[in-house]
Copies of this chain bind each other. A is one copy, B any other.
């Protein structure tokens, strides 16, 4: 901001740009100079949107009738998601509880919008997806960072939730699988955390936007544990629809009317092209494409975890998403500097822990396996060379 007096909301001083953006800008500058960069920082699938989804979208665009939809979303899409919960998870979810949103970002802002007053506290994992803290700040609530580490697989536990829950707490937000850690919360923990929140007059929000991208164990959803949790989901990750900006939320019945009111005002509707396209997301043909891509992600994980361990990173095997949150404390005590050096000298882009919180952030980096195994191998080889040269 220049010297002139201009209004600036106080929240802005607490909202930081993603540090990885600075790295991305540098990576692009290097690429513009002709340098080859291995990208292990990018938080979106490297796969294009599956063809059947694009074709459904093209049919809608060909008709041209792309008007506002209902604020809660196309009824047929809400019904399709309800069917998906039945076939994929064996859970009955009333379509009336499903809210279609402009990405999971909108789902989070709507859910927190009906819950958070100024100074309300919301519990969040540190490390965790950084925007979540800023949604709370947007609403003038107080994000309370709950430090999590390898002992709880970098996840919230019922004990931590109870410990950090205060009289001002209205909600806890957990993510399973988590970004940046890729780890999953056991269903029993979800149940206990939801019960504790309800006992205290609060609610549990469960971010399941990486669902479908789980490589070990059964596929579960928090909706099996409770009808009183907010489940946030997305077409971005498993369905490879990041740029379309489409997500959904399953809300407790009692909140649907409030969410509808807020969505009418703040969003009007989720993007119609994406909603029409997503009608093809649950077709067997699409799911077959997506599940083979999931298997590819699993293969990348299975390659990368032991490869990183061999390089000296301390890694717990993540069950899902496409991230590895690696403890790099044996290699550096400044993971941000480490990431910058790695980019500059080895041409490998990764995300410093600082983007996900402050708890032991300088001892962690996030690797995204959103590149082909060949590129991951190249990245690992470059990191190895970088570490050897550094001595």
Asked whether A68 lies within 8 Å of B49 as measured between CB atoms, the reply is no
Complex Cα distance, B48 from A63, in Å, reads 8
Given A58-B58, A58-B61, CB of A264 within 8 Å of CB of B9? no
Asked whether B5 lies within 8 Å of A201 as measured between CB atoms, the reply is yes
8 Å CB interface, A1-29 against B: 1-2, 4-12, 15-18, 21
Given A62-B58, A243-B66, A265-B130, CB of A9 within 8 Å of CB of B271? no
Chain B residues near A130: list those with CB within 8 A: 265
Chain B residues near A9: list those with CB within 8 A: 113-117, 120, 139
Minimum CB distance partner of A141 in chain B: B9
Taking the full assembly, how many copies of this chain does it contain? 2
Minimum CB distance partner of A116 in chain B: B9
Number of interface residues of A (CB under 8 A): 80
A138 at interface, CB cutoff 8 A = yes
Chain B residues near A103: list those with CB within 8 A: 267-268
A359 at interface, CB cutoff 8 A = no
Complex Cα distance, B11 from A266, in Å, reads 13
Q: Whole-angstrom distance from the CB of A165 to the nearest CB of chain B?
A: 12
A374 at interface, CB cutoff 8 A = no
Complex Cα distance, B53 from A62, in Å, reads 10
Asked whether B243 lies within 8 Å of A272 as measured between CB atoms, the reply is yes
8 Å CB interface, A222-279 against B: 241-245, 252, 254-255, 257-258, 260-262, 264-274, 277
Q: Whole-angstrom distance from the CB of A248 to the nearest CB of chain B?
A: 15
Complex Cα distance, B262 from A15, in Å, reads 7
Complex Cα distance, B263 from A102, in Å, reads 13
Q: Which of B68, B113, B201, B270 contacts A138 (CB 8 A)?
A: B113
Chain B residues near A252: list those with CB within 8 A: 6
A140 at interface, CB cutoff 8 A = yes
Asked whether A267 lies within 8 Å of B105 as measured between CB atoms, the reply is yes
A118 at interface, CB cutoff 8 A = yes
Asked whether B1 lies within 8 Å of A67 as measured between CB atoms, the reply is no
Asked whether A203 lies within 8 Å of B7 as measured between CB atoms, the reply is yes
A366 at interface, CB cutoff 8 A = no
Chain B residues near A300: list those with CB within 8 A: none
A151 at interface, CB cutoff 8 A = no
Complex Cα distance, B272 from A274, in Å, reads 10
Complex Cα distance, B58 from A277, in Å, reads 12
Chain B residues near A262: list those with CB within 8 A: 12, 15, 134, 138
Complex Cα distance, B63 from A54, in Å, reads 9
Residue ranges of A at the interface with B (Cβ–Cβ < 8 Å): 1-2, 4-12, 15-18, 21, 44, 48-49, 51, 54, 57-58, 61-69, 102-103, 105, 109, 113-118, 120, 130-131, 134-135, 138-140, 170-171, 201-203, 241-245, 252, 254-255, 257-258, 260-262, 264-274, 277
Ranked nearest first, the 4 interchain pairs of A and B with the lowest CB-CB distance are A243-B272, A48-B64, A66-B243, A7-B170
